[in-house]
Structure 1
Amino acid sequence: MTEDRTHTTAPGHLMAAEISEQPQVLDRIASTDTEPLTALVRHLQGHPTRAVLLAARGTSDHTALYAKYLIETQLRLPVGLVSTSTFTGYGTRPDLTGVVWICVSQSGGSPDLVESTAAARSGGALTIAVTNTPSSPLQDAAQLHLPMLAGPELSVAATKTYTASLMRLWQLVTAWSGGDLAPGHFVSKVAAAALDLPEVAQVASRYRFVDRMVTTSRGFAYPTAREAALKLMETCYLSAHAFSGADLLHGPFAMIDEDRPVVVIVPPGAGGQMLDPVLDRLTERGADVCLVGATGTRTAQVRIPLPEDLPEQLAPIVQIIPLQQLALQLALSRHHDPDRPRGLRKVTETT
């Protein structure tokens, strides 16, 4: 019998349960019949694509940023992140012939995403909706649909829909480029190993009374830094700023001191190598650094080690899990209920 989690009142129980469900969700995605994905890819491979546009909001915006890295590196196509207000607020109707439009939305109900996707379709784009709902206005507005397959998500803070959408977009782009989907079968096992890391509780205890924090990374892990900052803001009500490591070394570096912890997500591969000068400067600054991931011989005040069994492109699906746990544990230690953040709803309506 499936437990009805809506009747449990313990703060954070929904978020905790949905974080724990992620290995199962990822295994389901990897094991699902690939024919719907194959059919979608056939459309893409027969399409004269000159560019890709990605539309999303909130957590899904970080998924879209991840997809941008995937498409630029695997397909070598120009990719843009859409400003939906140019369609909904300014009434712009560009010629999008030869453009693939991918809109990511957990609910598929945000009016600005629905309207801009419909406008893109009328402008000649091949439109794809990536949603977690069996039927939605966004799915109706688009020509093609890719389900996230995360199952119902009840907590306001998105967790399993984020990792599910990363996995689905990795599958989509990899199949589109003619790549091998087999590595995706290992993700759920690595995700399960990342669920209960004792170091997360140590970091949560260290930062319990922190009001300001910075998250940073490079490459495929940069969306992880942005998603981690969002989770910390919406569940713990602290001021969390996410920067690319390259941008951090410009103006924002002036605000770094020992009272503003910096969470550095260090991926394997080129992304981790690009962070070397950032870590050097943070060490010189005397910053309170928390290293997450493949940390090598680097020293830091605290660290959250992660399994290094995944290639850099797949690593973001696992990197975010201990940071979701950190947001949950910090929120509970501050006597907040992360399932019901102040003033937030599951579906945000914007125009």
Structure 2
Amino acid sequence: MLEGEPAKAIAEVAAKVAEHRPKHVVFVGRGTSDHAALYGAYLTEIRLGIPVGLASPSAITLYGARPDLAGALVVGVSQSGGSPDLTEVLKVARESGALTLAVTNNPASTLATTAELSVDVAAGHERAVAATKTYTAELLALLLLVEGIRNGDGTPAAEEREALAKLPELAERTLGEHGADELAQRYRFASRLVTTGRGYAYPTARETALKLMETSYLPALAFSGADLLHGPLAMTDPDVPVVAVVGSGPGGSSMADVVTRLGERRADVVTIGAHDIAGASGRLAVPEVDERYAPLLDILPLQKLALSLALARGEDPDAPRGLKKVTATL
């Protein structure tokens, strides 16, 4: 996706959005794609300086609300593009005068054809029922889109393209690490778990919790680092493992204090990042990159953890209970 037709297609869409100059942006998604949308929200507010909201589909589909979204960019993010509620949000948004954009792995889907603009994440067939590669592809598509809008002509700036070109090699190196397999044995008999991160890392914490619940049936609560300190910190103790995503930049710096506070409670904390953090008892190593690129790498050892933990607990991650590739909700 970093080059060739998919990148050109994203650049064309980014240029059209930049020309439109939206006053605010609304993202909508479900499950894994909702976490990708949250990453897009952080990118948009930080990199573009445009206010962002996350839509509540049920306000439209269940309660019949018709919000005035004139002047907004409304972005639906869905691996399959087959969620009726997301499609309805884009339909209503378009009728009210919004510019609508679908980010999917299926350019022929209902969501993609409902929106005025469409981005194909070009991940190919997603074999995992608990989506993995499509999540990473959604993150990358949103990153390219936002940086293209920021640069005005649809393509990321030269320094951005240089940094992005290094990501595939860094991802391969990250996947070669074996710490997740060892950590799975440590968490094999855990009864619950907490994930946490701030800023760009918060979507990773939420996606990790979802993957653990989907594949290992392990109750997992995701908190932003700030929210964790506002009360939930009290539930942490040596018997509640905590996975903390700690990258570089402001988000990572703020998380160092969170890890220290967790350490004071003798919590079993494992961090995801490039450096050891005081108070943590272990770390899953990832290369150090700019904080806004880190979610594309940080999720990889955590997806491996979900896989290894499911197998260690005697479950089948290829056939998780009650989960389908397309979940239709209204």
**Per the shorter chain, which TM-score range?**
over 0.9
Q: Aligned to 2:136, which of 122, 138, 163?
A: 163
- 1:123 paired residue number: 96
Q: Does 1:234 align with 2:206?
A: no
In the aligned structure 2, how far is the partner of 1:151 from the partner of 1:272? Answer: 33
**Structure 2 residue matching 1:275: 3-state secondary structure:** helix
Instruction: Give the counterpart letter for 1:302 in structure 2.
Output: G
Q: Does 1:344 align with 2:316?
A: no
- Give the unaligned 5+ runs of structure 2: none
In the aligned structure 1, how far is the partner of 2:190 from the partner of 2:67? Answer: 46
CA drift at 1:299: 4.8
1:31/1:185 contact within 8 Å kept: no
Q: Does 1:31 align with 2:31?
A: no
Instruction: Give the counterpart letter for 1:219 in structure 2.
Output: G
CA drift at 1:91: 1.0
**Structure 2 residue matching 1:66: 3-state secondary structure:** helix
- 2:53 paired residue number: 80
**Structure 2 residue matching 1:241: 3-state secondary structure:** strand
Q: Does 1:326 align with 2:305?
A: yes
In the aligned structure 2, how far is the partner of 1:46 from the partner of 1:303? Answer: 44
In the aligned structure 2, how far is the partner of 1:200 from the partner of 1:39? Answer: 39
In the aligned structure 1, how far is the partner of 2:138 from the partner of 2:16? Answer: 20
**Structure 2 residue matching 1:173: 3-state secondary structure:** helix
**Structure 1 residue matching 2:251: 3-state secondary structure:** helix
- 1:23 paired residue number: none
Instruction: Give the counterpart letter for 2:307 in structure 1.
Output: L
TM-aligned CA distance change 1:294 to 1:121, over 3 Å:
same
Deviation sequence 1:44-99 (CA, Å, 0-9, x none): 12214110000000000000000011000111000000001111111111221110
Could you say what the CA RMSD is over the residues aligned between the two structures, in angstroms? Answer: 1.1
2:180/2:304 contact within 8 Å kept: yes
CA drift at 1:196: 2.3
- 1:258 paired residue number: 238
Counterparts in 2 of 1:22-61, with a 5 A limit?
A: 29-33=1-5, 34-61=7-34
**Structure 2 residue matching 1:215: 3-state secondary structure:** strand
Matched length: 322
- 1:65 paired residue number: 38
Q: Aligned to 2:291, which of 307, 312, 316?
A: 312
Query: Which is worse superposed, 86-95 or 166-175?
Result: 86-95
**Structure 2 residue matching 1:177: 3-state secondary structure:** helix
CA drift at 1:290: 0.7
Instruction: Give the counterpart letter for 1:338 in structure 2.
Output: P
1:132/1:149 contact within 8 Å kept: yes
TM-aligned CA distance change 1:48 to 1:307, over 3 Å:
closer
In the aligned structure 2, how far is the partner of 1:284 from the partner of 1:347? Answer: 43
CA drift at 1:161: 0.3
Deviation sequence 1:160-192 (CA, Å, 0-9, x none): 000000000000000000042412111111100
- Give the unaligned 5+ runs of structure 1: 1-28
* TM-score (norm. length: structure 1): 0.90
Matched-pair identity in %: 50
1:107/1:131 contact within 8 Å kept: yes
- 1:3 paired residue number: none
- 2:125 paired residue number: 152
In the aligned structure 2, how far is the partner of 1:46 from the partner of 1:31? Answer: 22
Query: Which is worse superposed, 40-49 or 218-227?
Result: 40-49
- 2:148 paired residue number: 175
Q: Aligned to 2:254, which of 266, 274, 299?
A: 274
Which has the higher relative contact order, 1 or 2, with Cα contacts under 8 A spaced 6 or more apart?
A: 1
Deviation sequence 1:271-330 (CA, Å, 0-9, x none): 11011221121111010111111334535222111111x211011001000000000000
**Which portions of structure 1, spanning 4 or more consecutive aligned residues, are displaced by more than 6 angstroms?**
none
In the aligned structure 2, how far is the partner of 1:96 from the partner of 1:266? Answer: 36
In the aligned structure 2, how far is the partner of 1:41 from the partner of 1:112? Answer: 25
